[in-house]
Structure formats: structure tokens, C-alpha cells
Amino acid sequence: MQDLIIRSSAVVTLLLGLSVGVIGQHAGGEGTVTMVLTGDSIITRRLSVYSEPEYLSMIDLIRNADVAFTNLEVLLHDYEPYPMHSSGGTWMRADPEMVDELVWAGFDLVSLANNHTGDFGVHGMRLTRHYVEEAGLVHAGVGESLPEAREAKFLETAQARIALVAVASTFTDHSAAGRTRGDIPARPGLSPLRYRSNRVVLPEHLEVLRSALKEIGQRVPETGDRLRVFGTTLQAGEEPGTWTVADERDMEEIAAVVSNASRLADYTILSFHSHEGGRGRNTPADFLVEFAHAMIDAGADMLVGHGPHVLKGIEIYKGRPIFYSLGDFMFQNETLQRLPGESYDLGANAGVADFNDRRYNNDRSGFPARRQIWESVIAVPEWEQGELASLKLYPITLGFGESRTVRGRPLLADRELGEKIINDLIEASAPFGTRIEFRDGTGIVLIDRGDRQ
């Protein structure tokens, strides 16, 4: 009997030990983590009412990921706040219920830092943040002060802990969050990434300008290959153009946040909203390349860009992907409910449709006439043991050439259009040495496992 008790105790102890061992095992980012990354979401209409196969397949793609991100480029409120004197281009606003549509689609993370953050002032920003939090989405990029706007936010999943940091380089001046010394409150707003522009001019043109400035009484250096003129730096060079440099203090502060976040999470995503471009619309600005590399050096695992409403190239830097712009995911900017009175300037009876007709010359110019605006990809990186294992690009169409009541909602593109979209991205990514192939309707980024250094 005593032997039986001893043997039974041993079995119980073994089972408890096995149970504790199983329960005590955590993923901790050591397994496979699949992410979905998208660009701008300007959502003003419901998503959950549609049933096209290519649409529902896209929704399943988002829902089946462990983590799904988008940039929420619209404010959520019932017109309680008044519009500010300037906007990010249009005063963006949607019904608060639209955030539930994002949850329905499968999103977990959103950035709130973009050029529309301040369209309806601090009140509009706070209401948007409230509805996003109420829906259970993790957000980053805004706060009651600059330190709060800068800070990382975290998503807990069974597979890994994900950090999100969000900034914007394109914003209205009143949107940027500020600091306090304790004597007056800080200014609420977004986390800014500022930069300065320098212009390259031919040496002979610089000398002509130097002489002209002297003639009007301006004090300028007698010699040298650089002039500071009316707030702009002019640099002599053989190829005229503009080059930009990121603000050192902003870089330092954001890098510190990223470094800390990377030591508190398994993966760190940095979102940046930027309309600024390089020599072409599909080329990133110099300061963004500088910034992206510095953030990966600081510990970020990927950077997700958006803002210019077109796709830009992909770079794999030290084994980490940089999406300089994922373009649009949803672009429903034409179906806003209202606009401030000064927007119309068309008479007392004018409405949003009249504003659209004038703004886009009855769809003959602007966004409706540009195909690139309505073509994009959903990026799906897959991580294993903390390393980038694969990166797929699913081409989507937002309905170029369709009516205002249709265009702006994404669908998976058919094979012909999908190949065209991926080929455009191949061309935009080539300067970074990134190799992409089109296979079975999908773009596949070829990853060199030796890239990580």
C-alpha cells in the first residue's frame, strides 16, 4: 500500500511538473509571427456590407494575421469641435462608428499622427483617440504633450508583444505637440519629425546671386560654396535640386523611444506619415532615408510609411524592411458629410459634391485622374525567431475610374492589374537593391539571410 502511494505521488508530481512546464512556456516572439501592414485609411463609409469574393479574401488576409496595422487618416466625431483655420488639405471627419468597421476588418494597431490630426483642433484629436480606445485598438502618435505623443504603445498577442511608435513629418503647425517647463500646460498634438531643406544650384548661379544680394545691401560671405538666403541654404553643386536633412533633436528623441521600446517588445513598428518626396513622386526624401536607417539602428524592426497616396520603394536595411510608402488602403475623401463654410466659396447652397466637382474639375484632374492613387499593396512580413523570414505583397485596387460612390474601397487586384502594380513597385525599389518577383498574383521580396549585420 505504501509503495502504491509512493508511486501515485511520483506520477502526480511528474504530471504536475509536465503541466507547469507546458503552462510556463511563452512564445515571446520565438515562433512565427505574421503581420499585415497597410497605408492610409481614409474611411467614411461602412466596410462590412460588401461580399465580393476578392474583397472577402482580402478581409480574411487581414483577419488571419497575428498583427494588422493601418494609418487612420480621418477624425472621428459628431461635429462637436469646430474646424481650425487650416487643415491638412481637406477637413477629414467620419462617423465614430467607422472605427468599428476597422475592427470588423481585423485591424489591431493604428497611427493617429498625420497631416489631418489637427483639422478639428485638440478636441477633435481627443474624441478620435477616445473612440479608437473604446473600440480596443492600440494607437500611437498623439498625446497631451510631446513626450506622451512620442511614446510607444504596446499590443499583447499570444505570439509576441508588439510596440508601435508613430510620427509625422507633414502636419499643420498647430498640430505638433509641445513641451512644458511646469509653468504652463503643454500643447497636445502629434509627434513631429521636422527637417530642413537645402537647395543645390550651379556654382555660376550662386555667384550671380551673391552679387545681387550685395547690390541690395545684404551681408554675405565674399567666397564659399554655400549661402544662407532668406531662411534657405543654397549649396553649389553640379546637379541642381533639393536635399533635406532630419532635425537632429527630433531624431535623437524618437531614437531613444525606439531603443526603449525594442527592449520591452519582441517587435517594434515605426509608422511615419510624410508627403515629402525626393526627385520623383515615387522617391523618398533624403531625410526619410536618413531617418529610417537611424531608427533601425536604434532597434526598430520595420518602418511603415504613408502619406503621399502613392507607392514608393521598399528597402531591406540590415535585414529589416522599410516601406517608404504603402500608398492608400482606403481613400474615401470624396464622401465627407460636411465641410467648413469657407471651403465651398460657391454660394450659399453649395454642398460637398459641388466642392468635389470644382476641386477635381469633374474628375478630369487631381486624385480621380491619377491611376497611381488607386493602386497599392498590402505588405505581409512573416517573422521567425526575430528574423524576417518572408515578405509578400498583395496588390489591391481602390477602383480607379469608378464613380465616387464606389472608388476608395480596396479589393484584391486581378492578375493583370496585380502584375502591373508589382512591376511598378519593382521599379521603385530597384535603387535600394531590393529584388521582387511576381508569382501567382503576389509580389515576393527576395530576402538575403546575410543582410542582417
Q: Is there a single domain that holds both residue 78 and residue 219?
A: no
Q: Is there a single domain that holds both residue 103 and residue 232?
A: no
- The pLDDT of 265-278, averaged and rounded, is 96
The answer as to whether 434 is a domain residue is yes
Q: 379 has which bridge partners?
A: 37, 393
The pLDDT tens digits of the residues spanning 402-428 come to: 999 999 999 999 999 999 999 999 999
Report the candidate in 132, 103, 105 with the shortest Cα–Cα distance to residue 117. 132
Q: Is there a single domain that holds both residue 258 and residue 308?
A: yes
Say if residues 313 and 283 touch (Cβ distance below 8 Å): yes
The answer as to whether 6 is a domain residue is no
Task: Tell me the CA distances in angstroms from 203 to 70, 206, 286, 321, 440, one per residue in order.
Answer: 45, 5, 22, 38, 52
* String of DSSP letters for 120-161: THHHHHHHHHHHHHHTT-EEESEESSHHHHHS-EEEE-SS-E
List the grid coordinates of 193: 519629425
Q: Is there a single domain that holds both residue 125 and residue 191?
A: yes
The pLDDT tens digits of the residues spanning 143-165 come to: 999 999 999 999 999 999 999 99
The answer as to whether 347 is a domain residue is no
List, in sequence order, every beta strand (DSSP E) within 230-344.
232-236, 241-246, 267-273, 302-306, 314-317, 320-323, 328-331
The answer as to whether 213 is a domain residue is yes
The answer as to whether 375 is a domain residue is yes
pLDDT of residue 230: 72
The number of C-alpha atoms within 13 Å of 396 and in the hemisphere containing its C-beta is 34
Checking if the pLDDT of 344 tops 90, the result is no
> Based on the structure, what is the number of domains in the chain?
2
pLDDT of residue 451: 57
The answer as to whether 310 is a domain residue is yes
| Domain that residue 207 falls in | 203-236
Q: Is there a single domain that holds both residue 299 and residue 383?
A: yes
Q: Is there a single domain that holds both residue 291 and residue 318?
A: yes
* Terminal CA-CA length for the chain: 63
The pLDDT tens digits of the residues spanning 160-214 come to: 999 999 999 999 999 999 999 999 999 999 999 999 988 888 888 888 888 888 8
Checking if the pLDDT of 342 tops 90, the result is no
Q: Is there a single domain that holds both residue 80 and residue 215?
A: no
Report the number of secondary-structure helices (H) and strands (E) in the chain: 11, 24
Task: Tell me the CA distances in angstroms from 141 to 110, 112, 131, 148, one per residue in order.
Answer: 9, 5, 15, 8
Q: Is there a single domain that holds both residue 94 and residue 145?
A: yes
The pLDDT tens digits of the residues spanning 285-304 come to: 999 999 999 999 999 999 99
Q: In this predicted structure, which of 41-55, 64-78, 80-94, 210-224 has the lowest mean pLDDT?
A: 210-224
Cβ-count burial of 351 within 10 angstroms (0-12 exposed, 13-18 middle, 19+ buried)?
Answer: exposed
Q: Is there a single domain that holds both residue 291 and residue 406?
A: yes
The answer as to whether 392 is a domain residue is yes
Which pTM does this prediction carry?
Answer: 0.89
Task: Tell me the CA distances in angstroms from 184 to 178, 187, 396, one per residue in order.
Answer: 11, 9, 48
pLDDT of residue 291: 98
Q: Is there a single domain that holds both residue 148 and residue 208?
A: no
pLDDT of residue 239: 80
The pLDDT tens digits of the residues spanning 357-397 come to: 999 999 999 999 999 999 999 999 999 999 999 999 999 99
pLDDT of residue 6: 41
Q: Is there a single domain that holds both residue 255 and residue 324?
A: yes
- The pLDDT of 35-51, averaged and rounded, is 98
pLDDT of residue 365: 96
Provide the pLDDT confidence category of residue 15 given band limits of 50, 70 and 90.
very low
Provide the pLDDT confidence category of residue 452 given band limits of 50, 70 and 90.
low
Give the Cα separation of 396 and 394 in Å (integer).
6
pLDDT of residue 437: 98
Mean pLDDT computed over every residue of the chain: 91
Give the Cα separation of 221 and 228 in Å (integer).
10
pLDDT of residue 17: 41
pLDDT of residue 326: 98
What is the CATH number for 375?
A: 3.60.21
List the grid coordinates of 122: 485638440
Q: 35 has which bridge partners?
A: 67
Q: Is there a single domain that holds both residue 219 and residue 316?
A: no
Checking if the pLDDT of 60 tops 60, the result is yes
Checking if the pLDDT of 1 tops 50, the result is no
pLDDT of residue 28: 65
The answer as to whether 3 is a domain residue is no
Q: Indicate left, alpha or beta for 182 from its phi (over 0: left) and psi (-120 to 50: alpha).
A: left
